[in-house]
Amino acid sequence: VRVEDKLFQNRYLVDAGRAHIKVRPHTTPSPALKTLLTACPARCYELNDKGQVEITADGCVECGTCRIIGEPSGDIEWNYPRGGYGVLFKFG
Ligand code: SF4
């Protein structure tokens, strides 16, 4: 089974308008932000047409990888979703 197929089994409750991860506004991405493009297992980070890194946190599995890479340098701001929101893992 591919990772993408396993991730598809999870369910997400999106807290509309209250993204739990924010990317600091930038003109060119820092090395840490560039790393996030490939480090996120759910592929939440993408380059926009201006070459800036954007996040769509809807499919985030709250693994914390981007928090370790991007938060110490201030490139991103990371908080757990409010109770009841975010990923709902399916086991088995
Ligand atoms: Fe991706 Fe994990 Fe960061 Fe969520 S916490 S955006 S899944 S790296």
Over residues 7-28, the pLDDT tens digits come to 888 899 999 888 899 999 999 9
Q: Mind listing the pLDDT tens digit for each residue in 55-85?
A: 999 889 999 999 999 999 999 999 999 999 9
The amino acid at residue 24 is: R
- Looking at residue 36, its amino acid is L
- From 43, 66, 69, 76, mutation site for ligand 1 pocket: most ligand atoms within 8 A of C-beta: 66
All residues at 6 or more sequence positions from 21 whose CB lies less than 8 Å from its CB, including other chains: 44, 55, 57, 60, 66, 76, 77, 78, 79
* Among 40, 43, 55, residue to substitute to test ligand 1 (most atoms within 8 Å of Cβ): 40
Q: Read off the pLDDT band of 92 (50, 70, 90).
A: low
For the chain, state the CA radius of gyration.
Answer: 13
Architecture of domain 3-80: 2-Layer Sandwich (3.30)
- The answer to whether ipTM exceeds 0.90 is yes
* Alpha carbon of 42 to ligand 1 centroid (Å): 7
Dist. CA 80–CA 63, nearest whole Å: 10
